[in-house]
Amino acid sequence: MSHPDLFGDAPADDAAEAQKNVSTEAALQTPAQQAARLRALLHHHAHCYYTLDAPEIPDAEYDRLFRELQALESAHPELLTPDSPTRRVGGRVLDSFPTVTHRVPMLSIRTETDNEATGAEAFDARIRKELGLLETDPPVVYVAELKFDGLAMSLRYENGVLVQAATRGDGETGEEVTGNIRTIGQIPLRLPQDAPAVLEVRGEVYMRRYDFEALNARQRDRIAAGIKGEKTFVNPRNAAAGAVRQLDSSIAAERPLSFFAYGLGDMTPAADGGPQWTSHYEMLQQLKAWGFPVAEQTSCVNGAAGLVAFHQRMAAERDALPYDIDGVVYKVNALALQARLGFVTREPRWAVAHKYPAQEEMTTVLAIDVQVGRTGKLTPVAKLAPVFVGGVTVTNATLHNELEARRKDVRVGDTVIVRRAGDVIPEVVSVVLERRPADAAQFTMTEHCPVCGSLAEREEGEADHRCTGGLFCSAQRKQAIWHFAHRRAMDIEGLGDKLVDQLVDSGQVKTLADLYHLEQSTLSVMDRMAEKSAVNLLEALEKSKNTTLGRFLFALGIRHVGEATAKELARHFGQLEAIMVASEEALLQVADVGPVVAHSIRSFFDQVHNREVVQALRDAGLSWAEGDALAPTEMPLAGVTVVLTGTLQSMGRDEAKEKLEALGAKVAGSVSKKTHYVVAGAEAGSKLDKARELGVPVLDDEGLAVLLAGLKP
């Protein structure tokens, strides 16, 4: 894309051509001409990168041009200009910020206290009343914008060059922060030639959520490294405000700030050659054309219905935005109507901020409880003094795990900031340390499950503690039953999620063994369970009693023990009792069993109640063939890796897999150089292509039959 003469002093050729001929031109130009050319190129590419989001050159090439300009300005200090891109990296350290008197006050906008759709309707009704409009008159046209959660800023340009940036302050007087604002890549340092001689652009400095998280990650690294004076930031707004108010602009340059434009202050009047806009939206589009970022969600809408729709749409999209907003803003679009409406107590009648319910509030931690999840995960939860945040009353906030609770150092009695975004579980953002009680004790995770009393363990390399109660823990009961009934476990057809919920909630099933004592009369009265369904389930339960040791082990739901590992354990030990008493060292001799899995198996069977559940299942009639342990090398297909793909004619793939594994083969899900055979049925896809590419032997149903006979084709 070509942008000729974008920045006034650019050469007649477009930027790309100028860049291509940089060496030739440099040899023919004076240092001043070279500096002007480099500034124009860098301004152009910054505009493409930050505003258009369409970079034309790689970062490395931009950096090369930047260094070239730096070297030129270093050799010729008189060439350094206020709009030079090199000014973005920070200048001298200030003792304090100079004050700035705003030529046009930075007025605040009235806030609509009604957070619902009726708040938008009330604003439209007031506007129509002030304008004397009848019900039969057409709807008022508004500009609907986002209300950014950042820091208001005024940017003053004279003759197209950024000469001053100032905070809102008290509206009349603010602080000059030009050096820090120059470090923001989205803010143009120089405007095109058609910009007015004087232009003050009003907008918001903010920090994107991703940039905020990255900044806090760097801060935590600095704190961990023992660097004094470093801290993490509570939220993106505080981080942005802190960056803008850095007396050392080189520090501000390290903080990833962004900017959106939404209004004007002082400007060359139309009578003196300034712009002659008729609407607010027209003005915003011109600012965008001059290189200022304008939020893409900004829209023209008609009447109350349009305002309500915008408010609701942004509420739905709010959590997905890459930055924080705390509401939306409505402005009458026609500048002539704005003039008619005027101001009241220094607030414009023609605009209003319509906020959403707060997503962060302060409250007090009353207690810290530990909750047990369906998989045994222990989660510390802060019990809070009720606080209205994000549209609901919050009384609980997750602390995630012990490590996170300690990192944030949340204690009972603390005053904390709580955040709730959309449907996300509320969480504690930070502690207000100056309000901490003197006797507040540090949180320590319980050593035992608060539900069943089993040992609570945190495996090496993991953040979460887990209850080792497994089958015994009532908090994990539903999850344990769902897993037990899985098709690849006990294969109890008809025992779905809804029925499990009813059986557990009604107290009919407290342990896995209770499943085998269910009666038809009990099942028939359950929701969605007719007499035939009850009979079918009882038959499925009876059928499941005849199983294999591998399936039974997998059905127990031992953490880290998947289907393949369960089968390896069954092959290696041959008998359940041998597995239950095996030491971690003995378990490590099993293929695919490492230290974590061995420890998990040992911990499971060390719990008396788990052994009791296993015995109760055996007493209920569950059985399987047991025998002496069979060494892997004695099995006919030991060491052979097979991949199944497509539809087999002789049997289903699950059956083929089970038979191959019974002969010692490993059935893998993907083809690699280590694959010995690929068994391909009808409509085999990419796995067959991969096998041919790697030269792996491909077998059909007849070849599979040879394998299942214990022979190698």
Q: Which candidate, 102, 98, 96, 265, places its Cα nearest to that of 168?
A: 102
Angle at 677 between CA 675 and CA 681, to 5 degrees: 125
Q: How confident is the model at residue 20 (pLDDT cuts 50, 70, 90)?
A: very low
Average pLDDT over residues 291-298: 95
Superfamily of domain 15-89 in CATH is Helix hairpin bin (1.10.287.610)
Q: Which candidate, 474, 537, 479, places its Cα nearest to that of 511?
A: 474
Q: Which candidate, 413, 417, 411, places its Cα nearest to that of 432?
A: 417
The residue type at 335: L
Q: Is the dihedral of CA 330, 335, 340, 343 positive or negative?
A: positive
Q: How confident is the model at residue 357 (pLDDT cuts 50, 70, 90)?
A: confident
Cα 35 from Cα 281, distance rounded (Å): 36
**Which of 199-203, 332-336, 483-487 is the least confident region?**
483-487
The token pair at 688 is 């067959």
Residues pairing with 678 in the sheet? 643, 698
Average pLDDT over residues 81-95: 64
Higher pLDDT, 672 or 228: 672
Give the pLDDT of residue 424.
60
Residue the block writes with tokens 């540090």: 442
Higher pLDDT, 350 or 647: 350
Q: Spell 208-242 as b/e; 16+ CB within 10 A means b.
A: beebbeebbeebeeeeeeeeeeeebbbbbbebbbb
Give the pLDDT of residue 2.
31
Higher pLDDT, 425 or 316: 316
pLDDT tens, 175-218? 999 989 998 988 999 999 999 999 999 999 999 999 998 998 88
The answer to whether the CB of 503 falls within 8 A of the CB of 527 is no
- Count CB atoms within 10 A of the CB of residue 525: 10
Residues pairing with 143 in the sheet? 300, 331
**Which of 171-185, 491-505, 681-695 is the least confident region?**
681-695
Cα 492 from Cα 505, distance rounded (Å): 20
Give the pLDDT of residue 55.
67
**pLDDT at 248 > cutoff 70:** yes
147 catalytic per annotation: yes
Give the pLDDT of residue 351.
95
Q: Phi, psi at residue 395, to the nearest 5°?
A: -125, -10
Give the pLDDT of residue 653.
82
Cα 37 from Cα 23, distance rounded (Å): 12
Give the pLDDT of residue 59.
63
Q: Where are the domains of the chain?
A: 15-89, 111-355, 468-625, 632-708
Residue 440: partners with Cβ closer than 8 Å, 6 or more residues away: 411, 412, 413, 414
Give the pLDDT of residue 22.
46
**pLDDT at 29 > cutoff 50:** yes
The average confidence (pLDDT) of the chain is: 85
**pLDDT at 262 > cutoff 90:** yes
**pLDDT at 438 > cutoff 80:** yes
Give the pLDDT of residue 605.
92
pLDDT tens, 620-667? 999 999 877 655 556 788 778 899 988 888 888 888 887 888 787 888
Catalytic residue of the set 20, 147, 532, 666: 147
Give the pLDDT of residue 119.
92
Give the pLDDT of residue 264.
95
**pLDDT at 375 > cutoff 90:** no
Average pLDDT over residues 102-122: 88
Give the pLDDT of residue 177.
92
**Which of 50-64, 351-365, 534-548, 592-606 is the least confident region?**
50-64
The answer to whether the CB of 361 falls within 8 A of the CB of 389 is yes
The token pair at 457 is 């363990």
Cα 424 from Cα 419, distance rounded (Å): 9
**pLDDT at 314 > cutoff 80:** yes
pLDDT tens, 51-62? 555 667 776 677
Give the pLDDT of residue 275.
92
Give the pLDDT of residue 10.
36
The answer to whether the CB of 645 falls within 8 A of the CB of 679 is yes
Q: Which candidate, 511, 535, 512, 513, places its Cα nearest to that of 522?
A: 535
Give the pLDDT of residue 392.
75
Q: How confident is the model at residue 5 (pLDDT cuts 50, 70, 90)?
A: very low
The residue type at 421: A
Cα 310 from Cα 110, distance rounded (Å): 19
**Which of 242-256, 311-325, 547-561 is the least confident region?**
242-256
Give the pLDDT of residue 665.
82
**pLDDT at 39 > cutoff 70:** yes
CATH number for the segment(s) 632-708: 3.40.50.10190
Give the pLDDT of residue 592.
75
Report the predicted TM-score, pTM, of the whole model to 2 decimal places: 0.51
Fold of 111-355: D-amino Acid Aminotransferase; Chain A, domain 1 (3.30.470)
Fold of 468-625: DNA polymerase; domain 1 (1.10.150)
**Which of 10-24, 86-100, 338-352 is the least confident region?**
10-24
Give the pLDDT of residue 11.
35
